Amino acid sequence: MSVRREVLGLVGLVLVVDAIFAATYFLAGIGRATDGAKLAFTAVWTVATLLVVVRGLTRIRRARVRPVWPSSS
């Protein structure tokens, strides 16, 4: 897989995660919730985004270090 494809996949997945959590925030009325509930929601959102980003960056790194030409050995 190409690095460009992996980067676009990472950006797309981050946008999907953000869209899901933003929709949940408004539809569930988190804005009117207690401070603790808002903090917990934000923490879950951050961890979900972090997992997606770490996965994507790992795939990008793997795509970058993979040799383009087969070795002659």
- Contact status, residue 25 vs residue 32, Cβ threshold 8 Å: no
The pLDDT of residue 68: 62
**What is this structure's pTM?**
0.82
Is 73's pLDDT higher than 60? Answer: no
Residue-wise pLDDT for 20-70, tens only, equals 999 999 999 999 999 999 999 999 999 999 999 999 999 999 988 876 666
Q: What is the mean predicted confidence (pLDDT) over 7-31?
A: 97
Residues 6+ apart with CB under 8 A from 68: none
- Contact status, residue 60 vs residue 3, Cβ threshold 8 Å: yes
Is 72's pLDDT higher than 90? Answer: no
Which two three-digit tokens encode residue 61? 């790194």
The pLDDT of residue 67: 63
